Amino acid sequence: MSLSEQQVQQIITRSHETGDYSALVELIPYARMIGMQVTRLGNEAFFTLPRQDINIGNPVLPALHGGVIAGFMEQSAMLHLMMFMNSEVFPKIIDFSVDYLRAGLYRDTYATCQVWRQGRRVGNVAITAWQTHSSEPIATARAHFKLD
């Protein structure tokens, strides 16, 4: 199942050219498994995690698994960096910190990212995830990525 670097490069390049990153998301098995999607609107990007049975943690509420919410946020941050840096490679995660503010119910979840600092070697990204309104996040997170 592993792809050559060249195949991946081609898809990344095409995504940057067209502004449609769905093929890139499809390329990442984890992103495909949790079912996330990306929409680019001008210079902004929105990430969506449609509700999906296998993403449930606590079945009684039911609620999404906190780890899936975190994984979605981490992947959103990584894609966001790639999109706006025109990066040809996957940034590598250094650290990730998430605060859970509300239960992530069994609903569609959205995320947006803010790059606070992008150096030559390291990027700092803040991520907000919400379900009903962006002013009522279910989780906020920040991550550092190695860029080179």
CB of 53 to other proteins, least distance (A): 7
The alpha carbon of 78 is separated from its chain's Cα centroid by a whole number of angstroms, namely 6
With a CB cutoff of 8 Å and minimum separation 6, the contacts of 68 are 34, 49, 55, 57
53 binds other proteins (CB under 8 A): yes
Contacts of 61 (CB under 8 A, 6+ apart): 103, 105, 106
Q: Is 96 in the site for other proteins (CB under 8 A)?
A: yes
Would you say 5 or 148 has its CB closer to other proteins?
A: 5
3-state secondary structure of 121: coil
Rounded least distance, CB 107 to other proteins, Å: 15
Select the span of 13-21, 49-57, 79-87, 117-125 touching other proteins (CB under 8 A). Answer: 49-57
Q: What does the per-residue mask of binding to other proteins show for 57-86, with x meaning CB under 8 A?
A: xxxx----xxxx-xxx-xx-----------
Q: Which residue has the tokens 């890139």?
A: 24
Residue number, 43 or 64, with CB nearest to other proteins:
64
Enumerate residues 6+ apart whose C-beta is below 8 A from 8.
27
Span near other proteins by CB under 8 A; candidates 40-48, 52-60, 111-119, 120-128: 52-60
Contact 56, 119 (CB under 8 A): no
Task: Give the count of beta carbons closer than 10 Å to the beta carbon of residue 65.
Answer: 15
Site size for other proteins (CB under 8 A): 42
Q: Which residues bind other proteins (CB under 8 A)?
A: 1-5, 8, 27-34, 53-60, 65-68, 70-72, 74-75, 90, 92-100, 103
